[in-house]
Amino acid sequence: MRIGLLGFGTVGKGVYKLVAPRADMQVVRVLCRRDLELDDAAVTHNFDDILNDPTIDTVVEAIGGLHPAREYVIAAMEHGKNVVTANKAMVAVYYDELLPLAQRMGVHFRCTASVGGGIGWLSELERVRRIETVSHVGGIMNGTCNFILDSMHRTGMDYKAALAQAQALGYAEADPSTDVDGIDTWHKLIISANVGFGVSLDLNSVPVAGIRNIQASDIENFKAHGMVCKLLSTAKQQDGSYSAYVQPTLCPAGTLEASVPTNYNLITLSGNTSGRQSFYGQGAGRYPTAYNVVQDCIDCLRGRGFYCSYGKKVTVINKLKLSYYVSGATDDALEERKALNWGDAVVTRPVSIHWMHQWLDAHPGAFIAALPVEE
């Protein structure tokens, strides 16, 4: 395999290093914006040098973001090249374009590192689907949020201090919005549901709430009730209808989710014969992520393309009603739905997920967390 590598940052450099000693693949060109010299690959600032090199059969996209990543990946596929990427934003947002194009062009397209970093989550989902129906996917998919929530729980520190610590350790970016507002988890849930259920979820029908407004006093309230707060993603399919949402959720202390420490991920599926399976590990980092990119390259070499065929477009309808913990804002509509107070915060009677997220959109300073559902 002759690889054109786009980007030489955290993931790109890791891929370059892991590929270097291998006999079955070689990085022959690297696209970057800086001046860089490499021993065994030509560096270019011009993507066309990769696109128009007929000896390059595979493009590894590691520049991130939507543009020009989307345009480069589309052009690569149109030139008959396989594509491997860790870019969850691009795959989630342009799923309807990228997967049909890969199928039409007969090229391999894989993105295992885009969900779970070093965990082989998507490739395992692919195997599960070979013999059974997946009814549920979800879990803790963002290490940055888990690190912040875990630090707040363990030490009592406030959100700002926990975020600053995550940034100092390289777990959070200078602008942490994509992580703390739940967008990264949202992208990963959508890719997981698309692969697990063989559909294409309408992104805009999947509600998302993040952890930006959580306070140390919220954590104290949760502890007083034996709960631990996690940012959880959930997607389910039943009898042809689909539900999906991302929101802070209270997990009883001692459960698997509640026990996930620092920046780890815990991602779970439910299959109709194998039952519940959970995958735990490093959701990010140079080498865990590069590891799965290289695994994808090996899979391409072995003729394995995307994890499922392109499926029908579906709109999510969340019929489930949940009780929510709400702090940081209130109004008459919320008070009407109040069941009790935890400290100064309100706990609602069961309300629809749709209603709660709409209310949150109108109260951007508020924090919500779903109470656990009795199973």
Ligand X SMILES: NC(=O)c1ccc[n+]([C@@H]2O[C@H](COP(=O)([O-])OP(=O)(O)OC[C@H]3O[C@@H](n4cnc5c(N)ncnc54)[C@H](OP(=O)(O)O)[C@@H]3O)[C@@H](O)[C@H]2O)c1
Q: Could you give the residue numbers annotated as active site?
A: 188
Residues 6 or more apart in contact with residue 210 via CB below 8 angstroms: 145, 180, 181, 182, 183, 231, 246, 248
Q: Which of 25, 31, 162, 228 binds ligand X (CB under 6 A)?
A: 31
The answer to the question of residue 64 lying near ligand X (CB under 6 A) is yes
Q: Cβ 90 to ligand X, closest distance in Å?
A: 7
Closer by beta carbon to ligand X, 49 or else 202: 49
Does residue 182 bind ligand X (CB under 6 A)? no
The residue from 98, 113, 137, 297 that contacts ligand X (CB under 6 A) is: 113
| Pair 118, 291: CB distance under 8 Å | yes
Q: How many residues does the chain have?
A: 375
Instruction: Establish if 70 lies at the interface with ligand X (CB under 6 A).
Output: no
Secondary structure class of 234 (helix, strand, coil)? strand
Of 113 and 267, nearer to ligand X (C-beta) is 113
Q: The tokens 């009795």 sit on which residue?
A: 374
State which amino acid sits at residue 285. Answer: G
Site stretch for ligand X (CB under 6 A), options 84-92, 150-158, 218-226, 363-371: 84-92
Pick one of 88, 108, 337, 357: the residue that binds ligand X (CB under 6 A): 88
Does 62 engage in binding with ligand X (CB under 6 A)? yes
Choose among 20, 78, 26: nearest CA to 47: 78
Q: How far is Cα 102 from Cα 221, in angstroms, rounded to an integer?
A: 49
Q: Is 10 near ligand X (CB under 6 A)?
A: yes
Binding mask 283-302 for ligand X (x = CB under 6 A): -xx---x-------------
DSSP-derived letter for residue 374 is P
Q: Which is nearer to ligand X, 140 or 214 (CB)?
A: 140
Backbone angles phi, psi at 338, to 5 degrees: -70, 135
Are 20 and 46 in contact by the 8 Å Cβ rule? The answer is no
N- to C-terminal Cα separation, the chain: 48
Q: Is residue 117 a contact residue for ligand X (CB under 6 A)?
A: yes
Binding site for ligand X (CB under 6 A): 7-12, 31-34, 62-64, 68, 86-88, 113-114, 117, 284-285, 289
